[in-house]
Amino acid sequence: MRRAPITPYLFLAPMVVGLLVFRVIPIGVSFFASFTHWNVIAPPQWAGLANYREMLGSADFWRVLGNTSLFAAMYVPGVMIIGLALAVLVNRKLRGITFFRGLFFMPYITSLVAVALAWRWVFSTRFGLLNNALIEVFGITNPPAWLSDPIWALPSVAIVYIWQSAGFVMLLFLAGLQSIDRTLHDAARLDGATAWQSFRYVTLPLLSPVVFFVMIISLITSSQTFEVTYALTRGGPNGASTTLAYSVFQNAFVFYRMGYASALAYTLFALVGTLTLLNFTLRRRWVHYG
Amino acid sequence: MVDRAGTLTLPAVRSGSLRRDRMATQTLIYVFLIAFAAITVFPFAWMVITSLKDPRDVFRIPPSLVPGLLFTDQPLANYQTIFTELNFARYLFNSAFVATTCAIGQCVTCSLAGFAFARMDFPAKRWLFIGLLATLFVPVEVTIIPEFLLMIQLGWLDTYLPLIVPSLMVGAFGTFLLTEFFKTIPRDYEEAAAVEGANAFQVYWHVFLPLSRPALASLFVVAFITNWNELLRPVLYITNPDLRTVPLALMSFQGEYESAWTLLMAGAVLSILPMVLVYLAAQRYIVQGFMSSGIK
């Protein structure tokens, strides 16, 4: 192909402009903003480290960080265990298995808002399916008010997210399982290993790089949840389900504290960045096995 | 194959009990599969059932699983209401318009950039590509505040533009996907075209795009679904009721018609149904697309 030296840049132009305007410059602007007081209406005022100082000294911030960790502590193991169980279940040649795979993945492509609304109706204190099942079937007399209960609000949000993304995690694990040499299992079975032993001592060790990778992805996902919280609890009751990402949203677009919200966003950035770097460095070391 | 070989080497005496074992295992697996399927389906089912109920039947204790309206002469009454009284056709149009524009736009911008990355040499190429990929890992929370302020400056609030332009112009994942795909296209094709005097754009348009239909299809459906479901940007940028997308409309319904569960669920069904249909039609592309977009 003969071409002028400018040609590559013509091809790249829309992407590069978009990258600059919507990513690179905003990353810089929000870093700068995190050192200012900025309420959108008045121009930003230099505040030095005031936002970060306020953040570290505020009980709310630590509570939000606690909620974020608690959410991760529920979501990550939950989605991984169910995802792995599903992957093991569908990793075989059985009648209708593609149907089940397709079905389990389906929640992942549906609107989180619509799904959250359906769950809101399931969680509804008096008329909800869940509480009525608990009362009628399991004889529990005083079921929680789920979404408006300070203890249960965050787990409820986690349940919806686990339900929604287990199928995705299933596919990640499935790809891992299918890359494992089947003769290893047959050898283990011939040596008298039970199905569980073969899973525990052959599959899991070989799957460990995938497990690690899925864990990092799930941690990153869990730190950036917004839709379900917005649709179900708005971070409530009384901040009980406010996570770091949701707190950025609230401070920026409910309280219009752009500077403080930017400081929170950069804290989240640092968290996600660390996880991502960890993923890349350790993946390189772990990916060659066997 | 290996399976069968493994089984055959076992002593023949045990084959009877082995078959029975296998039957038991299979039954157990189906039991688990069906249990998980039930958990997957039940929020959807509850949504559909509620959308087919008479509003007066919704607040019954214990809740009934019977979609009561199905046995009347107006089974779809709730759906009619959200179209006639709640302007739902407009919201569906808004979502479809935004999602289609974003998806087509991403296919264009990402394939253009992908072509340059896969087939051209230019200074700083490596750094540009790494920079592009790095943006995939930047949380939206970091960029959304400046983006919001930019949209105010541009006067784009309450237009489709802030829903479309950022998504259309920063397809980092799409560029990565298409770059990788273009690299697999044999060089012979473009050399043949070049011999005939085609310029770079002609090679891109007449050779690479037609050969890349599967990758473009994956990108299109992933971008379409992602934008159809997007909530944050409509929440930030849209206050005019006529410009609401479906997720935003559902959120405002929830505020305005707090206990109109039959209507809310009808709306929820309509926001999910198109995606489910797309999913059934193009499952392979969707799964591949989301897998590579999630793995990064």
Adjacent-strand bridge partners of A36: A46
Q: Is residue A277 part of a domain?
A: yes
Distance from the Cα of A103 to chain B's closest Cα (Å) equals: 7
Position with higher pLDDT, A203 vs B101? B101
Please name the residues between 132 and 191 in chain B that touch chain A, using a CB distance below 8 Å: 132, 135, 137-150, 152, 165-166, 168-172, 175, 190
Beta carbons of B169 and A273 less than 8 Å apart: no
Contacts of B182 in chain A (CB under 8 A): none
Number of Cβ within 10 Å of residue A158's Cβ equals: 23
Contacts of A268 in chain B (CB under 8 A): 139, 141-142
DSSP class of A36:
E
What three-state secondary structure class fits A37?
Answer: strand
Residue B130 forms contact with A (CB below 8 Å): no
Split at pLDDT 50, 70, 90, the class of B94 is very high
Q: Is residue A181 part of a domain?
A: yes
Structure token pair of residue A141: 């007399």
Work out the angle at residue A219's Cα, subtended by the Cα atoms of residues A207 and A239, and round it to the nearest 5 degrees. 150
Evaluate if residue B254 carries a pLDDT over 90.
no
Distance from the Cα of A112 to chain B's closest Cα (Å) equals: 7
Beta carbons of A245 and B10 less than 8 Å apart: no
Determine the average pLDDT of the residues in B10-15: 49
Evaluate if residue B246 carries a pLDDT over 90.
yes
Cβ within 8 Å of residue A234, ≥6 positions away? none
Q: Is residue A58 part of a domain?
A: yes
Beta carbons of A132 and B152 less than 8 Å apart: no
Sign of the alpha-carbon dihedral angle for A281, A79, B288, B95: negative
Domains and CATH numbers, chain B: 2-78 (no CATH), 86-295 (1.10.3720.10)
Evaluate if residue A124 carries a pLDDT over 60.
yes
Q: Is residue A59 part of a domain?
A: yes
Structural domains in chain A (count): 1
What is the reported pLDDT for B15? 57
- Distance of alpha carbon B56 from alpha carbon B77, whole angstroms: 13
Split at pLDDT 50, 70, 90, the class of A285 is low
What is the reported pLDDT for B4? 44
Please name the residues between 217 and 246 in chain B that touch chain A, using a CB distance below 8 Å: 225, 228-229, 231-232, 235-236, 246
Determine the average pLDDT of the residues in A167-173: 92
Contacts of B135 in chain A (CB under 8 A): 19, 23-24
Contacts of B150 in chain A (CB under 8 A): 21, 26
- φ and ψ at residue A5, rounded to 5 degrees: -60, -20
| Helix pair angle (B15-51, A153-178), 10° resolution | 140
Beta carbons of A252 and B148 less than 8 Å apart: yes
Nearest-by-CA chain A residue for B192: A1
Beta carbons of A227 and B231 less than 8 Å apart: yes
Beta carbons of B33 and A100 less than 8 Å apart: yes
Domain of residue A141, CATH code:
1.10.3720.10
Determine the average pLDDT of the residues in B199-221: 89
- Distance of alpha carbon A199 from alpha carbon A114, whole angstroms: 37
Work out the angle at residue B17's Cα, subtended by the Cα atoms of residues B15 and B22, and round it to the nearest 5 degrees. 90
- The ipTM of this complex is 0.86
Determine the average pLDDT of the residues in A68-72: 94
Q: Is residue A10 part of a domain?
A: no
Paired sense of beta strands A45-46 and A36-37, if any: antiparallel
- Distance of alpha carbon A242 from alpha carbon A238, whole angstroms: 9
List the one residue out of B244, B232, B221 whose CA is nearest residue B174: B221
Distance from the Cα of A217 to chain B's closest Cα (Å) equals: 8
Of all residues in chain B, the percent with pLDDT exceeding 90 is 38
- Distance of alpha carbon A272 from alpha carbon B1, whole angstroms: 44
Q: Is residue A146 part of a domain?
A: yes
Q: Which of B28, B128, B142 to mutate to test the interface with A (most CBs of A within 10 A)?
A: B142
Angstrom CA distances, A128 to A66, A231, A288, B193, stand at 29, 16, 49, 64
List the one residue out of A278, A273, A261 whose CA is nearest residue A64: A261
User: Taking a C-beta distance cutoff of 8 angstroms, is the pair A265, B142 a contact?
Assistant: yes
DSSP class of B10:
S
Q: Is residue A42 part of a domain?
A: no
Residue B259 forms contact with A (CB below 8 Å): no
- Distance of alpha carbon A158 from alpha carbon A178, whole angstroms: 29
CB nearest B250 (choices: A23, A114, A132): A114
User: Taking a C-beta distance cutoff of 8 angstroms, is the pair A101, A90 a contact?
Assistant: yes
Domain range enclosing A113: 51-286
